[in-house]
Structure 1
Amino acid sequence: MRWKIALVVVILAVGLYLILSHGLTGDEPELTAGKMPEEILAETKKKGAALESFKYRSTVTAGEQLTVNLRGTASPAKKEELLEFSWESSQGYGESAAYIKDQRIFVYHPLKNLWFRPEEEPGLKQLVGILGNQLRLLNPYRSLERINLEKARVTNTGTEVIDGREATVIEVFPGAKANEWFEGVLPPQLIGAKVADVKQIYWIGNKDLYIYKYILRAKIKILGLQLLDFQVHSTLRDFHKAKITIPDKLRKKLFAAG
Structure 2
Amino acid sequence: MTLRDGAPVRLAVSTVIFALRPDHAGHPVLWTPLVRRTREPQRGLWALPGGWLPPNEALEAAAARTLRSTTGLAPNYLEQLYTFGEVDRSPDERVVSVVYWALVQSDEAAQATVGPNVRWVPADTMPELAFDHNRIVEYALWRLRTKVEYAELAHAFLGATFTLAELREVYEIVLQRRLDPANFRRTMLASGRLLETGERASGAPHRPPKIYRYETTTAAAQTREPFMRERPAS
TM-score range, shorter chain: under 0.3
Structure showing the higher helix proportion among its residues: 1
- Give the TM-score, by structure 1 length: 0.23
Structure showing the higher strand proportion among its residues: 1
- Give the TM-score, by structure 2 length: 0.25
